[in-house]
Chains A and B, each alone.
Chain A
Amino acid sequence: MTALLELHGITKTLKGQKAPRTILDGTDLTVDRGESVAILGRSGSGKSTLLSLIGLFDRPDGGQYLLDGRDITRLPERKAAALRSAEFGFVFQRFFLLKHLTAAQNVAMALVNGQGWLPRRKRRARTLEALDRVGIAHLAKHRPARLSGGEQQRVAIARALVREPRLLLADEPTGALDTETGNLVIEVMRSATERGCGLILVTHDWDHANKMQRVLRLSDGALHPATDTRSVASVSGPARHRAAMGMDRTDAERSEVAR
């Protein structure tokens, strides 16, 4: 069975202040269905750039991008929009809720995007279900100004989940939250993966990263398996156990296995 997503030798060069800068330089990544992956990396290492390529916000300069084994490296924008709607859910560091809309309307925004049409009643049911999954169905009528940071981020997660995507892309979703709220938000997203949704989490927080099945580090434009540099005692979670037991494979190895 093919992996959900495969990146092979992805390169991306962005215009720098003076000379162009190569941000991604032969990045490989394979994510299975329902798998959760954490990506760590220094600020400016290109984590957001990588996510924007995966989420089809932008196209790579070189390399290959397969989704379900289908090459979508050079997908035209119109089809990319349809894929963004159907396959991906996005959560960002800032919550990006529209302040003139209620929580429910913000969630429904992902349903009112010109990609297929749901009648109002179905939209409402789906919206409430998504809000319920993140535990804030009772706040459906509130506008963002009346929600706490954690609640706002959960609305954003509900918006990302409402179309039942196959891959959740989260770019530092806890960056603007305190530790406790951050933990809650990560927990909410992780529980989504239990229903078969994959998750790529970009984070600076080892505690959050360790809750994912795999932890990778982006440096010099490529992904490498990451090892927790902190004392082993303070770390917990499946990633650490697997790392400790030598279960982590490089992406190259995984590709081998997949073939």
Chain B
Amino acid sequence: MSNVPKGQISIEELENVHITIGKIVGAIEEKYEKTEAGGMTPKPGVSALRDWDHSLLSRYQPVYTPMCDQCCYCTFGKCDLTGNKEGACGINMEGHQAREFLLRVITGAAAHSGHGRHILHYLTDKYGKDHPIDVGPSNLLAPNIQTVTGIEPKTLGDLEPAIEYVEEQLTQLLATVHMGQEGAAIDFESKALHGGMLDHVGMEISDLAQISCLGMPKSDPEAPLAEIGMGCIDATKPMLLAIGHNVAGVANIIDYMEEKGIADQVELGGLCCTAIDMTRYQMDQGGVPHAKVVGTLAKELKMIRSGIPDVIVVDEQCVRADVLQEASRLSIPVITTNDKIMYGLPNRSNDNVDDIIEDLTSGKEKGALVLDLDLLGELAPRLTLEMSPIRKEKGIKALPNEEELKVLIDKCVQCNACELVCPNNLPIMKAMEIGADGDFTKFEFVHDQCAGCGRCDQACPKEIPVLDVIEKASQKAIMEEKGHIRSGRGQISDPDIRAEGVNLVMGTTPGIIALVGCSNYPDGTKDLYKMADEMLRRNYIVLTSGCSAMDLGMYKDENGETLYEKYPSKFLGGNLINVGSCVSNSHITGTAIKVAAIFAQRNITGNFEETADYIMNRIGAVGVAWGAYSQKAASIGTGCNRYGIPVVVGPHGSKYRRALIGKPYVEEDWKVFDARNGEEMPISASPEFLLTTVETVEELMPMLAKNCIRPSDNNMGRMIKLTHYMELSQKYLGHMPEDWYKFVRSETDLPLAKREELLKILEKDQGWEIDWKRKKILSGPTTKLDVTAQPTNLKRLCKGEC
């Protein structure tokens, strides 16, 4: 092997050969480490990648499902666009929906990059612009930043031009949303894809900065486990609850409590991504996380209404708008710490801690805006210790007691208003009916599926606090809500990619399933657990982050183990990896980029299109945002889409208004070029979509297996993927999928144990010609197995083109 030249090897006219690449990987790595010349599109502007987008959108067409048939953007309107009519400015429904989608994406991207800007400034002030970026044993530190901007950051200061680029582009995109101007839906779509790509740069900036400065795990498969669940909170201690996505302030709180030796006296818990990042803080050397995770946004109102928190600190993003009102009813002071949420509170950033404490403990003020995070570090824990006895003494009662519960349930007149208004149409009326006889099982069912929105309360004509009733009646189940979550490990490291890249490209590790996003599930949290467990058992790599990472830790198997305890967390098949919080989603696209850069020696620097082309045709990865509701989930998914990574959202995701779905029955849509000679090469229709919705997890699982199939699969890889697709369809849909044969390129793609049986079906049902002596397919498949083929969507990459 030592004589093999470094660089690309082309073996023509070899069929059915299974090549295992071992030592070449070392050579590839050497190549990467040499400085590469920049790619074609460093810091692309709004139209720079338009051709790429249009080619994606010609295969995956936008499918619009408007949330509203009217447009009320400007004073020309409002305009009724029903039936794809044009409004007064000339835009039609399609164009308007694409514009609405773009707006969602840039809102999400702005939330992440606004976070990135805040934390980068804060950390640069504190640690200096020369503070090194240290995210683990990697040379490729910032795959998204490098691919998109061409910048290879080494220090915090190097992140500055990258965030400036994102901000400038987001402004340009926002400008296109102004009335008039763009009329073509496809160009709004291209802009949305641009926004999604920017989002991954913004997220990466945030996470690189915080991992480097706040001692978060650095690509650590052994990152510690943290406690999670409402049931794990010790309500006997004074409790401080942090909600949001930006850990900067809470890090100071933890430092203060450690320094003063009061950490044991305060129960520190968190909701949403701040909670995840609290469990990452200072865990790069291992240890016991400084905080517990209460759960996702779905638990926010429930946790406040439990009355357990003595003080609430909020920062930014997924935080309910009514935290102050809800908390004040229960004498819980609220501290807001970020420009994004101020709740109309007085700014106390320059005041004395004792004065603020006096005003809050006396009830003179309901809360305070504290933008000085050093002040916050001292204020929040001290206030918690003081508030706890005061609230106890006041006898603050949150949920109804047993007798009151009965009275409330008896007030129900079975009008069904709550069920109609509930976003999930949960059977609350039925729960009330059987709850009247003391049977609370239906309430427990409702609690499990309830997203904690509080709409039922507002609808009830009898003024029953419906959510409180649900929560009180489910107390037993809530006490059992305890689990473990592995604190986020951050990036997948370069050595991880070296070890596993080949299996991903050949398909012998059947795929990466990325479970991300929020908690607006269609049928409760357990679905996520079921799905992850099934795919892990089948040797898929499951990456997770944010709220999904939390909910995966909420269930235990018969041995009392959560998935994080049951499965290891290396970057290998059958491993479960929590990358971290919302902004850590950039490591998912980052992983795919790293495979292109490290395993395949592609020049990624400022070279988006070629990197995406590589990923799209070779890396079997599917993102799943099963409970997606935020705009951030839309931008994360859209960023994946521009790299050619398909994303599935749960049924609520249909409210994002548009999907990107291909038509497998249109043959000309499923062709790529073979870069060796520029010839067109038919491929199987996978991924079938870039963004779609799915009804149930049972439907989802076979779909995941199918959509991990890629043109580059070798015969072993395709056989493995096809086996999972067929088995999962049989297990969950009760049938052999109708299109399985479309993924068969040769008999070697068929599972060995079933080969003969399947060949018979191919002969009988599809009319394929089989040589039964050699058990070989002679004719029939529409796609060819050729491990040396180099599938690409970019004609210019083909031999002889440039």
Instruction: Decide if A and B are genuine partners.
Output: no
Mark A residues whose CB is within 8 Å of B.
Answer: none
